[in-house]
Amino acid sequence: KGIILGEQALSHRHGSALRVLASILAQVLDASFGMLAPANGAGAWWSGAVPHRLPGGKRSEHVGLNASAMLSTHPKTVILYGLEPGLDHQDPVSLGNFLSRANHVISLSAFRSAVPEQATVVLPVTPFTESAGSFLNLNGHLQFSRAALEPKGESRPGWKVLRVLANFLSLDGFDYQDVSEVLRELPPVAMDSARVDAPMEFVVSATDEPEPAIERNGCFMATHTVPIYSGDPVVRRATALNKTRDGERAKVFSMNPKDLAGLECREGDLLRVTDRDSSVCLAVREEPGVLEGCVGIPLGQVATGVLGASVQVTVEKVSSRD
């Protein structure tokens, strides 16, 4: 027996608390405990590409801001690397306001349509399919990949662009000629680093707030999910994938059949979901896996990108499918 946390639990606003509680429950039940982190999430930790870690996964004395906390700041310069602001963040509205407050926004992107309107400098980089690199899986094994295609136009692999920028700034230690040299800067992966000890430690932050109570007078709790073909700019632009059954399911809201009946709706009807910022009209599908009182909102979609990260939303029927 075991307890496994997926991406939706890990990316929840109280994900750290969920991890700790699940690890304690696993210990009580004498069960194994594991987490399915996002793609190359282990690699990000091991390379120090997270706010609280150094290369090798060591704790950093100077902890930076996470992707949510930084949205309340007033930055001079923001660097976006491979990020599609309107689709890759759970709160694209707040992210857009954050970028508007910056003096300069530098976007390193493989797609012109992924560049935000606030960008002052755009540097073309290749997608991961056109660049060699490595992935660190959850077992602690490094996996390597080569570029499947030659870079298009003036684009270059991201590590080369960063190296040249460092050279322009006269920074030491950026004389790499091959991506493998970058990897050698990291310590060897320790196999025991892939293990999760239970119970985990948890420190309550002074900024932690309880979830607001949902007033059931026509209000629902929004549950945000990232559909299978909406996770990154490459698959989002894969026409064939988005025409599959899974791709089509990502374009609609999802609700429990009992809630749909209460709204006098059925699968295929058009619903309007409204949060504190705006509203979106999409079709709805029945999904028994969605809890009563909740509405599933797909992220990584242009249509839902105008919605914020509100926990509470209102739902109303617009029209029938007939």
Tokens (6 digits) for 237: 């632009």
C-alpha 52/C-alpha 37 separation (Å) is 17
On the question of pLDDT at 197 being above 70, the answer is no
Q: What confidence score (pLDDT) does residue 211 get? A: 58
Contact 246, 228 (CB under 8 A): yes
Q: What confidence score (pLDDT) does residue 244 get? A: 95
- With respect to residue 163, please indicate whether it lies within any of the assigned structural domains: no
- Report percent pLDDT > 70 for the chain: 91
- With respect to residue 48, please indicate whether it lies within any of the assigned structural domains: no
CATH number of the domain that 311 lies in? Answer: 2.40.40.20
* Number of domains the chain contains: 1
On the question of pLDDT at 192 being above 90, the answer is no
- With respect to residue 22, please indicate whether it lies within any of the assigned structural domains: no
On the question of pLDDT at 237 being above 60, the answer is yes
Q: What confidence score (pLDDT) does residue 75 get? A: 94
Q: What confidence score (pLDDT) does residue 149 get? A: 86
Q: What confidence score (pLDDT) does residue 315 get? A: 93
C-alpha 22/C-alpha 9 separation (Å) is 10
* 172-182 average pLDDT score: 91
* 282-301 average pLDDT score: 93
- With respect to residue 269, please indicate whether it lies within any of the assigned structural domains: yes
- With respect to residue 248, please indicate whether it lies within any of the assigned structural domains: yes
Contact 236, 269 (CB under 8 A): no
- With respect to residue 229, please indicate whether it lies within any of the assigned structural domains: yes
- With respect to residue 232, please indicate whether it lies within any of the assigned structural domains: yes
Count the Cβ atoms, other than its own, within 10 Å of residue 240. Answer: 8
Give residue 225's domain range: 219-319
On the question of pLDDT at 206 being above 50, the answer is no
Residue 240, φ and ψ in degrees, nearest 5: -60, -40
Amino acid at 51: P
Considering Cα of 6, then 8, then 11, then 12, what sign does the dihedral take? negative
Q: What is the DSSP letter of 151?
A: P
Buried b (16+ CB within 10 A) or exposed e, 249-278: ebbbbbbbeebbeebebbeebbbbbbbeee
User: Band of the pLDDT at 317, cuts 50, 70, 90?
Assistant: very high
* 265-282 average pLDDT score: 91
DSSP labels for 157-199? -HHHHHHHHHHHTT-TT---SSHHHHHTTSPPPPGGGG---SS
* 176-193 average pLDDT score: 83
- Judge if pTM exceeds 0.75: yes
On the question of pLDDT at 105 being above 90, the answer is yes
Q: What confidence score (pLDDT) does residue 195 get? A: 61
Q: What confidence score (pLDDT) does residue 310 get? A: 76
* 265-286 average pLDDT score: 92
Q: What confidence score (pLDDT) does residue 136 get? A: 87
C-alpha 314/C-alpha 292 separation (Å) is 14
Q: What confidence score (pLDDT) does residue 309 get? A: 75
On the question of pLDDT at 74 being above 50, the answer is yes
Q: What is the mean pLDDT of the chain?
A: 87
Q: What confidence score (pLDDT) does residue 200 get? A: 58
- With respect to residue 203, please indicate whether it lies within any of the assigned structural domains: no
| Beta bridge mates, 77 | 104
What DSSP element (H or E) covers 10?
A: helix 7-10
**Residues in the chain, overall count:** 322
